[in-house]
């Protein structure tokens, strides 16, 4: 099952390595990771998305995260009410004559064209996991040349 875990940590060097180490030592891959400072610059906020094959191991990782000296709080959002968003940038193939068709997509789907030149267009989209997945599917027919994403961000509602 896919879990989204947020971790408030001391904003110090080495903290990310400690946290990543708890996952890698158990053979767990981090699917996405977003890190940034909070309003208090001495504290950072991490959002980690991980696929857990074994819930017991994930419970152990959560406890081990809490045990790290530099970790302030750990929250597993999986069973908590929350909003999530991700920002993606997508470069698609798009000739001038296709541009209108591409633009019309955004009446139904999240996103907008932020640059179009030669035979490509760059699209910026912000949405939840379903919206992003749907958008990427409809963009497939234009030919996705490049895709970058921030990883998921969550906030409790």
Partner 1 sequence: MIGARILLESLKKQGVEVIFGYPGGQVLPIFDQLYDFDVKFILTRHEQGAAHAADGYARATGKVGVCLATSGPGATNLVTGIATAYMDSIPMIAITGQVGTHLIGNDAFQEADVTGITRPITKHNFLVKDVKDLACTIAEAFYIASSGRPGPVLVDIPLDIQRADAEFIWPEKIEIRSYQPTYSGHPGQIKKAAKLISQAKKPIIYAGGGIITSGAHIVLKALAEKIQVPVTTTFMGLGGFPGTHKLFLGMLGMHGTAYANHAIMESDLIIAVGARFDDRVTGRLDNFAPNAKVIHIDIDPSSISKNVRVDIPIVGDAKNIIGELLEQIKKIPDTSEWLKTITAWKKKHPLAYKHNSSVIKPQYILEQLWDLTKGDAIICTEVGQSQMWACQWYKYLVPRTFISSGGLGTMGFGFPAAIGAKLGCPKKEVFNIAGDGSIQMNIQELATCVANKINVKVLIFNNGFLGMVRQWQELFYKKRYSFTPITSPDYVLLAKSYGAVGIRVSQKTEVRKAIQKAINTDNTVFVDFRIEPEENVYPMVPTGSAINKMIEGLA
Which spans of this chain sit near partner 1 (rule: CB under 8 A)?
9-10, 13-14, 17-18, 21, 25, 59-60, 63-64, 66-67, 69-72
Residue 68 burial class via C-beta count within 10 angstroms: exposed 0-12, middle 13-18, buried 19 and up: middle
Nearer to partner 1, 30 or 89 (CB): 30
Please state the closest distance from residue 38 (CB atom) to partner 1, in A.
14
Whether 112 and 106 have beta carbons less than 8 Å apart is answered as yes
41 vs 104, beta carbon nearer partner 1: 41
CB of 9 to partner 1, least distance (A): 8
Q: CA-to-CA distance for 38 and 55, rounded, in angstroms? A: 29
CB 77 within 8 A of CB 93: no
Min CB(7)–partner 1 separation in Å: 11
22 vs 139 by CB, closer to partner 1: 22
- Please, which residue, 6 or 64, has the CB nearer to partner 1? 64
CB 94 to partner 1: min, Å: 44
Helices (H), the chain: 15-24, 55-67, 99-105, 129-139
Q: How far apart are CA 110 and CA 83, in angstroms?
A: 16
């Amino acid at each position: 099952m896919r879990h989204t875990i947020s971790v408030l940590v001391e904003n110090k060097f080495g903290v990310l390595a400690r946290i990543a180490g708890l996952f890698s030592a158990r053979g767990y891959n981090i699917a996405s990771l977003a890190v940034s400072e909070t309003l208090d610059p001495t504290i950072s906020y991490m959002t980690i998305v991980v696929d857990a094959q074994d819930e017991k191991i994930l419970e152990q990782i959560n406890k081990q995260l809490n045990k790290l000296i530099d970790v302030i709080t750990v929250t597993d959002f999986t069973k908590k009410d929350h909003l999530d968003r991700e920002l993606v940038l997508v470069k698609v193939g798009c000739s001038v004559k296709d541009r209108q068709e591409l633009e019309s997509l955004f009446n139904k789907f999240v996103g907008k064209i932020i640059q179009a030149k030669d035979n490509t267009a760059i699209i910026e989209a912000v949405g939840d996991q379903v919206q992003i997945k749907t958008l990427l599917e409809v963009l497939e027919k234009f030919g996705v040349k490049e895709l970058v994403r921030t990883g998921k961000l969550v906030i409790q509602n």
